Amino acid sequence: MSQKIDFDYINQLAKRSLGGDLKSFEKLLNILEKYENFPQVKFGLYSLIYQLSMNVFIDVSKECEKCGGKCCKSGYPIPVYEFDYKELAKRMNREELEKLRRVDNIYLLPRPCPFQQGWVCTIHRFKPYACLSFPFATEDEQREIINNYDGKGIPDFKVPEYCIAGKKVKETLNAIISDLEKCLGRKPTPKELYQAIMKKKK
Ligand code: SF4
Ligand code: SF4
């Protein structure tokens, strides 16, 4: 990549997008599509569209309630990036912040998560990026898919068996992709997929 990508800025745009700020997402798309020839960037763009659908376009609240919030109950600690921490620090008191662990240079959120009540996330409006991006960017879930992705087609994202919300998102997007494929005669680019989702939303 000839020009350097500012990953901190990219992550902040991604987090704002998942909070429903579509202007941030479009900015992100315009920056990253210049690097679409790199399989990892293209993977990231498709992944963001799945994350955006899960957080903004498709209502998965019933599925998450039915599941009971399994993704917050067990697994490795969740990374809390610097920009996440800054947001948490503005909104939490000292006692709440002390529930995070600091390991080397990074804060971690233990699981079971101390901010979950029943199936509900009590810090939903400012939860860490890693929570927002589950299950479509979580490294453990997608590692094998990223490693094998050659930039051709759309990654077949792995959704854990228990995550019925993630399955709903995948099925919904698969249907949109299949319709687009019939019109285009090929898989849609990330931008084409995003535009088709937006059109359906109207
Ligand atoms: S995101 Fe998936 S695993 Fe997490 S609560 Fe919702 S359905 Fe359950
Ligand atoms: S912060 Fe919220 S979404 Fe993240 S693990 Fe805790 S309860 Fe779950």
- Average pLDDT of the chain to the nearest whole number: 93
CA of 146 to the centre of ligand 1 (A): 22
Work out which ligand 2 atom sits closest to the CA atom of 127.
1
**Residue 143 pLDDT grade (very low, low, confident, very high; cuts 50, 70, 90):** confident
Average pLDDT over residues 180-194: 96
Domain segments of the chain as ranges: 7-201
Encoded tokens for 53: 């659908």
Whether pLDDT at 67 is above 80: yes
Q: How far apart are CA 121 and CA 119, in angstroms?
A: 7
Nearest protein Cα to ligand 1, atom 4? 71
Q: How far apart are CA 81 and CA 91, in angstroms?
A: 16
Other CB atoms within 10 Å distance of the CB of residue 76: 11
CA of 72 to the centre of ligand 2 (A): 5
Q: 79-97 pLDDT, tens per residue?
A: 999 999 999 999 999 999 9
Query: ipTM of the predicted structure?
Result: 0.99
Ligand 2-lining residues (CB < 6 angstroms): 72, 78, 109, 113, 115-116, 121, 123, 127, 131
Ligand nearest to the CA of 62: 1
Is the CB–ligand 1 distance for residue 41 below 6 Å?
Answer: no
Contact 47, 149 (CB under 8 A): no
